[in-house]
Structure 1
């Protein structure tokens, strides 16, 4: 009676299951929730049981075709939905801020991307936001400084720590030629925000990107 949020948000699986149901806005099966959330089958099952008991999730159908949905009539439903909206909007704003962080130097970018745990969706509270960019050698320092400066205020306001790594075309070619492990992992993780994929940039010579 006094602290229902303890039961609703008590374990990670509850939070993750509820997130998918709120964001989807309609009924989902256990397997749908599992695919969307990355949780194990047992974690989804236990999360659903707990959330049903709290009344924030309702289920319909037979065991074989059972579907679950966020209970919008629950007394805490508006506040919980607002929390998940705020979470989603914050991340969208972070990505948009990084995408636009080069400002009037954006045309000098060959590529801008995020990589690491955030790109892999494995980040935790202590994770940095790893950002890579490629520019011509003569422009690289200025572009990196601009990106870092433009991220300073939003990083404080939105609560993230940007880690910006700048490369020129020679750096990229050398890393690729040496099959550098960091480079291999970086391009595997890369979520491109501006321009070409980083491993493809040297193939386009010196042309600027206006993405």
Structure 2
């Protein structure tokens, strides 16, 4: 459903492209995916500010930005702990449990969070972008939402490994990997061997996400 854009400034309009020029999702049916509406306002003060993405390659601690992107952080946390409903959910199973990084481009980003593992899946809803003047893709290790165009956020996310300024204003930034050990895990994932289409040869699994 979503991808994160491109590694060069002449980014492609094809959100499902397998080149470095695309960071969006590949969902061809975005027009049929309903926009989610929140019944109650989200209080950023009530949201966690740290999460740990446990992967088959090691753990990645991310600092979250609820003040700048409250709805996006709320969505991420709900899909991480199973409290937010998503299409295909069994019981209170978290969406971010045993899903893969389905798209990895060395020198650009790692992308995961698709329950189908194809780049075409999502939670069954979309929600609006949240952009902050205080956040830009001016440094590596930023956590952001993948999408297939404006206001098509779902469950897929990516972490950059280089500054990608051309993505500013296109993808919601909602966190950052700040500690060296976690950054090393991200770099290791980014450097993994991939097949055509940027899928790792050996699955790199998001086993769970812990909320701190």
Normalised by the length of structure 1, the TM-score is 0.22
TM-score after normalising by structure 2: 0.22
Considering fraction of residues, name the structure with more helix. 1
- Structure having greater relative contact order (Cα 8 Å, sep ≥ 6): 2
* Larger strand percent: 2
Structure number with bigger Rg: 1
